Structure 1
Amino acid sequence: MTRWLRRIALGALALLLIAAAAVVGYSFTLPEDELEVVEPAALVVEQGVEGTLATGGVEVTLGPSGLTLVEDGRIVWESPDGEAFLAAARGEVAVEEHRGYFFTEVRHDAEWTEQRITGMRAVVDGVLLEGTLHGEADQVRWSARIRERPDGGALLQVEVPDADAVVLSSGRSEGAGVHGFGEQFSDFDLDDRLLPIIVREQGVGRGEQPLSVLADLTNRSAAGDATTTYAAWASWVTEDLRGVALVADRPASHAVAVADTRDDERVALEVWAPTLDAELTAGDSPADLVAERQVGAPTLPGWTQEGAIVGMQGGTEEVRRRVADLRASGAEVSGVWLQDWTGQRTTSFGERLWWTWQLDRERYPAWERLVADLADEGITVTTYVNPFLVDAGPKHDPGIRNLFAEARDAGHLVERPDGSPYLLDQGGFDAALVDLTDPAARDWFVEVIAEEVLGAGVGGFMADFGEGLPFDARLHAGDARLAHNAWPGLWAETVREACERAARPDCVTWFRSGSLGMGEDASLFWNGDQLVDFGAEDGLRSALLGTFSAGVSGWPLVHSDIGGYTSVDAVVTDYVRTDELLKRWTELAAFGVVMRTHEGNRPDDNVQVHDDEQRAHFGRMTRVFAALAPYRRAVLTQATEEGLPAIRHGWLVAPGSDAAEVDTQFFLGDALLVAPVLDATTGRVEVTFPPGEWRHLITGKAYEEGTTEVEALVGRPAAFVRTDHPLADALTRDVGALFD
């Protein structure tokens, strides 16, 4: 059978599978994800318990309608009117793993939903509430301690000793939007849904058709859905200017959880642990709320702002050739990202890497000369590493260490319950995680990264993965069920320690997996492995949505792979980058925090920025990125010192205006508005301007508040600066000159 006849046959089979899935009611969700949340019922305050007590500047008021915390005249937190704010359950969360996908099933054997408050009293370190939770057959005791938060707001510590899960129900103004929960890709407003708080593979397609149905039917739910993400954690804000976040340094804060926003007057969080520690905050504005509750991140080195970091592969001579071609086209190249520095292997998914974390000198001969020559041109070399190890034996490279064997023999690997190394299927090969809870193992791996990775003369690396710890793993310390969601944070700490040991304070690393509090150890993040299309499910549009939610959740600096990553031949449709997609993604990235390209998992099948038809456009956009550096510098400082995201949704910049309701445009800082083209074959965009006057960076035309359709041909993005900003004239001049 010829290639085309086979393709026709496979296409017919795919269509039959899609039709069959439709008949049986395929819902494009993970079939093994069975979620439910205990719904708090009535609140009963016993006679004589009502009143107001103070802890520092926070007033704690308890009455028949519930509990309210007030600071400086504003409500920091309140319970749903007349309803219990605590509930609890006994049961378990069953979790099954398959290639980084984790399927959860929640089971409640007993529920306690009616809350009685039997006491409220002042204690040395705050206000203590006590009472009972009642179910159908029995009751359990609970306590809640409220203290003033040093940085503003309150700290709430809940304990239900006899429960397996605790539910905190927070009141909100009717219909107030909900934002956050880590990096979520479906909408900025996460109202009216159940959200599993579990770190896992993002998925391939996430509802994009026909890819998703085929991915699910052929690779066990590999498509994911609207809730699957590499970076989920319990932290959210509401549009009535209140915020809740679990306390990052408590192990129970990383337990699997489920957020419930289906009731428009509350947000409920069910945490599968007997304790819950939360930070409760309020703000005078959305920006004030987000900045007040977040910690700043490490700064980015200056070279990342001078031009693009271009992803390349192929060896020494290929890198030299591509750099020369790009620079000849006028591209500002400040870094190269050589992910294949350890060597490359081919799998059914595409081109993958050897996870040996040592230089492949056959692929990159004269590496030291290459790094030095690029440095002379003002170009920093970056590479790739992740927390897994593979057996180096099959690589047949006598010049490298077998780090897997070293770690196995020293007992440095995560283990199965029987004590053997926990080998995880990576789709074509197996790999094992270094046990980051073991001080000796972590110190060994820090040394490996400092010597073998950073010792190769590089300026940083993609710090990939972090979501793969199995729930039944045996660790040196702690429970894997609580460590799973915390693993990305442990990985970030390990990377930071390696940079410090290598005496590289300017080392730049970027992460895709995330956990609560991770922003203190990592400066830069990326959106994960988007599909190479425009789609809202898993493409260009989804990356922007993920950036918005991550920004209000604690990741102030987020970017994406230019052009996306995942390319799949789904038979019915071959998902490859189009020339237009790559150019539009490049335009969006030119107004971001870092401009970095990726060749994707099928480099030879996809358009690349170094291709002849792309170089002129890419070169111009890198010059736009460089021209924005004076403005962007202040935005990055605000992000790293205050935690305020650099890329902002309109709600953070112009609350109450029409621009606050738009998810298809973004602000870099407060004074630069960008309306990227997020759909194919269109040369116009709808722009919603907030109050003030806004000037087009290319044409110089001025616009007032309101919604206007603006021309945005390929190569001429719709970007605007607020005219009263001190740099408005300079930016219009410098950017506009690039298009004369």
Structure 2
Amino acid sequence: MTTRAVLYITLIAVHLFVAVSGEKKYAFTLTYPDGFNISINNITIFQHSRQNPMIYVGEGHTNFLGGLGNFHINNVIQDRIPLRTFEHITTADKNYVLFKYSGDEFLCNVTFESTSDSDLVVSTVDVGSTPYQYLWLRVVAEQTEKVFGGGEQFSHFNLRDRTYMPPEIVTVLRADDLKYPIWTREQGVGRDKSNLVTYYADLKTGGGGAFHTTYYPQPSYVSTRKYYLHYKDTNYMVLDFSSPTYHEIFVKGIVGKFYFKTADTMLALVQSLSQFQGRMPALPDWVTSGITIGVQGGTDTMLARLKTVQDAGIKVNGLWIQDWSGDIHTSFGKRVFWNWKLNTTLYTKWNETIADLQKQGIRVLAYVNPNLNKDGDLFKDADSKGYFIKDPKTDKTLLTNFGEFFCGSIDFTNPNAFSWYKDTILRKNMIDIGLGGWMADFGEYLPTTAKFFTGSGETLHNRWPLYWAQMNRIAIQESGKEGEVVFFMRSGYSGISNFTTLMWAGDQNVNFDVADGLASTVVAALSAGVSGIGMTHFDIGGYTTFASMGLKRTPELLIRSGEMAVFTPYMRTHEGNQPEANIQVYSNKYILQHFARLSKAHSLLANYTRAAVAEYIQNGTPVQRPMFFVDQTEKSYAAMYQYMYGPDLVVAPIVTQGATSRDIYLPQGTWINIWDEGEYAGYDKYINMSAPLGKPLVFYNNESKYKNVFKCFKQLPAPPTPPPTPPTTPTPVAPCVNKGAAFGSGVWWILLTVFTVISYL
């Protein structure tokens, strides 16, 4: 009996003896002479014909070259086969299509059906269990269609858009420049191959990144054709938006299911996707009022910094001490000693200090990740128990270079290792000593070549952030601290919102760059929100600093990022990887005055923010929302550097260095400037307005029930006057120096830098 005959018998048996799952919500239409169409609510999803097949299979091999969390992925395609012919079987609740290349035997069986929560579910059989371990699926696209999502993206909100790029870059774009690999990894330093910072990072570690590299990818997107696609598995895959007539989804390995759903509005689509993904719990009340100050250096320094900011009138809700376990120094800057227990030499009088701060309503937060420095005693304990992922060649603990120090990584698939880390580190060493929260860092470094208690590195890689988030959440729940303790993550994948309590955008540069600076945090929040993540925030002031290259934080950047952070769920500063090179919140009176004002502004919004969070938990609407949730116009779709904060505030932060004005898109209705009560009518137009330092463009809806709260912003003190800039003495230039000589010296500096880096490597 042929394979095809067996399949026919199986399908008949299923139809006769299994209860029908429900009415089809999609239309399957055969087309003459050799094709079919599949649509949902008159939205065409698939079109298949001999000339333009919807499915391809292939074989080859994929290389994952990883180091320091950066993965360079190379797909070597040895064969790609279009499946042109098919046989079709229909039942009351499903359609089965047997795709073939040639001859009588099928290569791939695809099932189309509806479920209670999805209009169309597409599942495949055989691909991945045969020599053809690659699959390409084509979804119908339109020329003017826009797509959003893909997890947390930093460069592009509309994943098909490149219009912001300079013309000289657009003209050399390749097809690869429209592809989004779904693989969790370091986001990269710079993320723009045309700038020097990215070049330097690539040269030193291969960690410069690109427009698509992200800590939190997700195999889903939302289309302006009013449907979403979500792939519910953790395979390596690629979302390819390079064609004007179709979107191509590439999947490696055993293929999971594709879920499609339609809705009347983009907002309804995102709400549905959020329900499908799960939602985070409500934030503790203390998070949404005031500011958490990032400090380091021990108890005395921590308390001295606190006094400085409190004396200036800053409303403090927390102190975030990364170095609670000690520190080390590398060429990149100051790093934490990854031995997750309190360093009592650095942080003395801990119990009485914590008790006193709690009386003031101030929490102390720390830092942790799933790796242990080999020089610490916790590493030795875990190593003796066999709790780390292993080197497959030696079957011993795999030591990984994390930047001039080596660590073992806890094997989450080992139940004993999972419990040991949760109970010993998260509960005993952190929650039990009174911490109010922590940054749960990393989760994206997992090598594909390691040996695990169960599973393989490739299949576990995208799932790893979920294990890490789950461990942190369970530790809080088992301690009875749900709703009091908060942890925030940068790495993620589909379903992360079932476990984490908050997200953050990761390590941005301390500048305004669109690819990896302040501007990118706006895109990150919006793309994550469209992907179902309702609450996120970012490091005020950025993180990545290269002082020797001139990349260090300025007062302008710190203040502008603080302005934006007011209109996020959580305000938290970061000193950066080179604290001594960066301007800090506590650096001078001028900065202190700005943040006293901004922290009070955030506190004014506490009840409004909590209501927006409650709305997200109830229906999936993210706290930071794209403008097209309100007005689905071409201008609203293009507004990628502004957002709705809750239902009633339009926020357009200044994300360009030196700018004191910008265009803002106001939706239909009457909108009031939150700073001066000026009234403006909106809808389908941009307005250029002044935004001096300390006053980003923020407007509230005149019909808002929080109108009286917003009016209080006018009573805040005016932004402080900048201190006078000291005069500078021009550097004398010898008469014989000309432009050519000056340029030559610049070239010499670059060559010297490159030579130094190569020598270092």
Quickly name the TM-score band, shorter chain normalised: 0.7 to 0.9
In the alignment, what sits opposite 1:416?
A: 391
The residue type equivalent to 2:114 in the other structure is: E
SS of equivalent residue, structure 1 residue 529: coil
Q: 1:132 aligns with which of 99, 102, 126?
A: 99
Larger radius of gyration: 2
Q: Does 1:190 align with 2:169?
A: no
The one-letter amino acid of 2:391's match is R
Q: 1:140: Cα distance to partner?
A: 5.1
In structure 2, what residue type is equivalent to 1:552? Answer: V
1:209 CA drift (Å): 2.0
Instruction: Assess, with a 3 A threshold, how the Cα gap between structure 1 residues 671 and 501 changes in structure 2: closer, same or farther.
Output: same
d(CA) in 2 for partners of 1:375, 1:495: 22
Contact kept in structure 2, 1:170 and 1:266, CA below 8 Å? yes
- Between Structure 1 and Structure 2, how many residues are aligned? 666
Query: For structure 2, which runs of at least 5 residues remain unmatched after alignment?
Result: 1-19, 162-177, 719-761
Is the 2:325–2:343 Cα contact (8 Å) retained in structure 1? yes
Q: 1:372 aligns with which of 355, 358, 365?
A: 355
Structure 2 length normalisation: TM-score?
0.85
Task: Tell me the equivalent position of 1:171.
Answer: 140
1:588 to partner: Cα distance = 0.5
Q: 1:61 offset after TM fit, Å?
A: 1.0
For the aligned residues, what is the CA RMSD?
1.9
The residue number in structure 2 matching 1:353 is 336
Q: Distance in 2 between matches of 1:454 and 1:74?
A: 53
Match of 1:429 in 2: 405
8 Å Cα contact 1:101/1:201 also seen in 2? yes
> How far off is 1:74 after superposition?
5.1
CA gap 1:351/1:133 in 2 versus in 1, 3 angstroms? farther
Whole-angstrom CA distance in 1 between matches of 2:462 and 2:279: 21
Q: Percent identity?
A: 29
Q: In the alignment, what sits opposite 1:214?
A: 200
- The one-letter code of the counterpart of 1:331 is I
Selected match of 1:237 from 210, 222, 238: 222
Structure 1 pair 133–541 and aligned structure 2 pair: CA distance change class (3 A): farther
Partner residue of 2:36 out of 44, 66, 84: 66
Deviation track 1:614-642 (CA, whole Å, cap 9, x = no partner) reads 11101101111111122222211122333
Matched residues in 1 for 2:459 and 2:250: separation? 14
Structure 2 counterpart of 1:324: 307
Q: Is contact 2:147-2:158 (8 Å) kept?
A: yes
1:289 paired with 2:269, answer yes
Name the structure 2 match of 1:38: none
Displacement of 1:336 in angstroms is 1.3
Structure 1 residue 322: Cα displacement? 1.3
Distance 1:338 1:282 in 2: 45
Structure 2 Cα separation of the partners of residues 566 and 58 of structure 1 = 49
Give the counterpart letter for 2:355 in structure 1.
Answer: A
Q: Deviations over 1:152-171 (max 9, x none)?
A: 42322222242212222222
Whether the aligned pair in 2 keeps the contact of 1:132 and 1:141 (CA below 8 Å) is yes
Q: Quick check: 1:232–1:515 contact (8 Å CA) kept in 2? A: yes
CA shift digits 1:690-726 (9 cap, x unpaired): 1111100010001112321111111122110011111
Q: Which residue of 1 aligns with 2:12?
A: none
Shift of 1:653: 2.6
- Name 1:8's counterpart in structure 2: none
Provide structure 1 residue ranges, at least 5 long, that are not aligned to the other structure.
1-52, 248-252, 394-401
Alignment partner of 1:305 is 2:288: yes
- 1:556 Cα deviation from its structure 2 partner: 1.2
Task: Quote the Cα distance in structure 2 between the aligned partners of 1:274 and 1:584.
Answer: 47
Once the two structures are superposed, residues 239-291 of structure 1 have per-residue CA deviations (whole angstroms, 9 ceiling, x without a partner) of 111101112xxxxx211111110112321111111322122111111110000
Where does residue 695 of structure 2 map in the other structure? 716
Aligned to 2:741: none
1:110 is aligned, of 67, 70, 79, to: 79
The counterpart of 2:113, out of the listed 147, 163, 170, is 147
Of 472, 478, 482, the residue aligned with 2:449 is 472
CA shift digits 1:525-579 (9 cap, x unpaired): 111100000010110001111111111112211111001000013x5x3100001
Q: Equivalents in 2 of 1:671, 1:74: separation in Å?
A: 33
1:675 Cα offset (Å): 1.1
Which of 697, 702, 706 aligns to 1:727? It is: 706
Conserved in 2, the CA contact under 8 Å of 1:66 and 1:80?
Answer: yes
CA distance in 2, matches of 1:150, 1:432: 44
The separation in 1 between residues aligned to 2:513 and 2:645, in whole angstroms, is 22
Distance in 2 separating the partners of 1:129 and 1:450? 51
Report the AA paired with residue 282 of structure 2: T
Using the size of structure 1 for normalisation, the TM-score is 0.87
- 1:484-526 Cα distance to aligned partner (Å, 9 max, x none): 0111111111111111222211220100011111111112111
Tell which deviates more after alignment, 533-542 or 151-160. 151-160
User: Partner residue of 1:24?
Assistant: none
Write the letter of the residue equivalent to 2:338: W
Contact 2:22 2:115 in 1 (8 A): no
Partner secondary structure for residue 255 of structure 1? coil
Cα distance in structure 1, aligned partners of 2:22 and 2:78? 37
For residues 670-685 of structure 1, the aligned pairs below 5 Å read 670-685=647-662
One-letter amino acid matched to 2:214: T
Take 2:210 and 2:105, find their aligned partners in 1: how far apart are those partners? 37
Deviations 1:6-29 (A, max 9, x none): xxxxxxxxxxxxxxxxxxxxxxxx
Instruction: State the alpha-carbon separation in 1 of the partners of residues 372 and 21 from structure 2.
Output: 53
1:557 and 2:574 matched: no
Equivalent position amino acid for 2:436 in 1: G
- Hey, what does 1:447 align to over in structure 2? 423
What aligned pairs does 1:579-594 form with structure 2 within 5 A after superposition? 579-594=555-570
Residue deviations 1:85-108 (CA, integer Å, cap 9, x gap): 222111121111111111111011
- Map of 1:666 onto structure 2: 643
Q: Separation in 2 of the partners of 1:694 and 1:338?
A: 40
In structure 1, how many angstroms separate the alpha carbons of the residues matched to 2:433 and 2:459?
35
1:91, 1:110 within 8 Å by CA — same for their partners in 2?
A: yes
Q: Distance in 1 between matches of 2:506 and 2:36?
A: 41
